[in-house]
């Protein structure tokens, strides 16, 4: 399977020789993702930090109720972690769907660009107005977590599905890797708001993903080393993952200095929607003409709004055959 092969590829990949222990030449701050490895344990992983450049505009754009913003932020963080594992071009989509207050939640990662969207059921905003964190199964209902690797129209997409039966989105994703990809994986996700007295609050997110490198003749049995690394990984706190004063390299050192941790040069993440007028026009050409005619506004134009970035488009009916 394409996704399984890509995930295993990152676990087996050798680090570049220019890397130095515990630190990179470019410090990891915000809106960045980086790979890392442990010298004394068969572990490879990813760390991500997102704030004003990649996360905050997505969550603020639609003014979601707090429980929805928290879960969508976690999904975006998860999409960045898994999407960055892949060494092939494509779009990684994390989708959660159910039949409750939030029937659909989508987060996408493609070449460092992120976009996300949540659909609320009628009246859900009022019910969630004063709520805080809610488990995925309760917020979305009995449903599924779907991971899709989309490599374009010429290649059939790969899709993996797991039930939303964990207390957190991270637990659901761990279950997917354990059951579908047969890769021991640990995932931690955290989302919160940075409050300032002299400025608006800012959404922040952080996440770490670790995976066990498979046993072989050279490494021997890696299960004991993985267990030791997993115990250290389990000590990370949510506030550490989103603390703006604790850069990612220092967080990794705090967690794994006894194992000797090396971090790769980070790459940037940003808020990037893929919508455009040409794509939307081509889509609307597939609609029945009578339906399009009913959508023409008094100004003589078709009005279309991207559900991800909320950008408004005005399309000439003649351009779509209406």
Q: Looking at the structure, do residues 187 and 155 belong to the same domain, yes or no?
A: yes
Residues 6+ positions from 15 with CB-CB distance below 8 Å: 35, 37, 262, 264
Q: Looking at the structure, do residues 201 and 116 belong to the same domain, yes or no?
A: yes
Among 102-116, 133-147, 197-211, 287-301, which is the least confidently predicted range?
Answer: 287-301
Domain-ending residue, one of 231, 253, 271: 271
CATH number, domain with residue 13: 3.55.30.10
Indicate the burial class of 157 (C-beta count within 10 angstroms; 0-12, 13-18, 19 or more): middle
Length of the chain measured in residues? 322
Integer angstrom CA distances of residue 222 from 4, 217, 228, 292: 19, 11, 10, 60
Question: Can you tell me the distance from the alpha carbon of 263 to that of 317, in angstroms, rounded to the nearest whole number?
Answer: 53
Q: Looking at the structure, do residues 31 and 169 belong to the same domain, yes or no?
A: yes
Question: Can you tell me the distance from the alpha carbon of 48 to that of 266, in angstroms, rounded to the nearest whole number?
Answer: 9
CATH number, domain with residue 316: 3.90.1280.10
8 Å CB contact between 159 and 148: yes
Question: Which residues span the domain enclosing 292?
Answer: 277-320
**Pick from 133, 205, 135: nearest CA to 164:** 135
Q: Looking at the structure, do residues 263 and 298 belong to the same domain, yes or no?
A: no
User: 300-314 pLDDT, tens per residue?
Assistant: 888 888 888 888 888
Q: Looking at the structure, do residues 103 and 67 belong to the same domain, yes or no?
A: yes
Q: Looking at the structure, do residues 231 and 180 belong to the same domain, yes or no?
A: yes
Q: Looking at the structure, do residues 155 and 285 belong to the same domain, yes or no?
A: no
| Pairing between β-strand 91-97 and β-strand 261-263 as defined by DSSP bridges | unpaired
Question: Can you tell me the distance from the alpha carbon of 117 to that of 309, in angstroms, rounded to the nearest whole number?
Answer: 8
Q: Looking at the structure, do residues 14 and 145 belong to the same domain, yes or no?
A: yes
In 84-237, which residue ranges form alpha helices assigned H by DSSP? 124-127, 136-140, 169-176, 223-233
Bridge partner list, 120? none
Share of the chain above pLDDT 70, in %: 90
Q: What is the mean pLDDT of residues 63-82?
A: 96
Q: What is the mean pLDDT of residues 96-105?
A: 91
Q: Looking at the structure, do residues 234 and 153 belong to the same domain, yes or no?
A: yes
Bridge partner list, 108? 93, 115
Q: 27 pLDDT band (50/70/90 cuts)? A: low
8 Å CB contact between 62 and 115: no
| Token pair 């604790």 in the structure block, residue | 246
Count of structural domains, the chain:
2
Confidence (pLDDT) at 25: 45
Confidence (pLDDT) at 217: 63
- pLDDT: is 224 or 24 the higher one? 224
Q: Looking at the structure, do residues 175 and 290 belong to the same domain, yes or no?
A: no
Domain-ending residue, one of 231, 250, 271: 271
Q: Looking at the structure, do residues 155 and 256 belong to the same domain, yes or no?
A: yes
Q: Looking at the structure, do residues 30 and 136 belong to the same domain, yes or no?
A: yes
User: 167-189 pLDDT, tens per residue?
Assistant: 899 999 999 999 888 889 999 99
Residue 22 has pLDDT above 50, yes or no: no
DSSP assignment of 152-209 equals -TTSPPEEEEEES-SSSHHHHHHHHIIIII---EEEEEEEEEEEETTEEEEEEEEEEE
Domain-ending residue, one of 271, 287, 304: 271
Mean of the per-residue pLDDT values of the chain: 86
């Amino acid at each position: 399977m394409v996704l399984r092969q890509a995930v295993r590829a990152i676990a087996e990949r050798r680090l570049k020789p220019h890397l130095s222990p515990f630190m990179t030449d470019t410090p990891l701050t915000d809106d960045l993702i980086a790979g890392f490895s442990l010298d004394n344990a068969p572990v490879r992983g990813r760390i991500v930090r997102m704030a004003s450049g990649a996360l905050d505009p997505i969550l603020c754009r639609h003014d979601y109720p707090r429980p929805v913003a928290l879960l969508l932020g976690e999904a975006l963080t998860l999409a960045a972690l898994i999407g960055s594992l892949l060494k092939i071009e494509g779009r990684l989509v994390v989708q959660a769907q159910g039949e409750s207050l939030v029937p659909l939640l989508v987060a996408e990662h493609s070449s460092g660009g992120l976009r996300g969207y949540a659909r609320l059921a009628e009246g859900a905003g009022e019910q969630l107005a004063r709520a805080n964190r809610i488990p995925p199964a309760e917020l979305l209902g009995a449903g599924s977590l779907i991971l899709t690797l989309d490599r374009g129209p010429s290649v059939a997409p790969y899709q993996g599905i797991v039930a939303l039966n964990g207390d957190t989105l991270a637990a659901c994703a761990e279950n997917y890797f354990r059951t579908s990809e047969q890769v021991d994986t640990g995932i931690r996700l955290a989302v919160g708001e940075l409050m300032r007295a002299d400025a608006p609050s800012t959404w922040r997110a952080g996440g770490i993903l670790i995976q066990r490198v498979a046993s072989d003749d050279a490494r021997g049995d890696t299960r004991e080393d993985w267990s030791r690394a997993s115990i250290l990984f389990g000590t990370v706190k949510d506030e550490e993952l989103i603390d703006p004063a604790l850069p990612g390299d220092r967080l990794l050192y705090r967690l794994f200095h006894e194992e000797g941790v090396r971090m790769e040069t980070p790459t940037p993440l940003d808020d990037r929607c893929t919508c455009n007028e040409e794509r939307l026009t081509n889509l609307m050409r597939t609609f029945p003409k009578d339906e399009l005619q009913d959508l023409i506004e008094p100004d003589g134009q078709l009005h279309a709004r991207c559900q991800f970035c909320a950008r408004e488009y005005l399309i000439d009916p003649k351009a779509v055959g209406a």
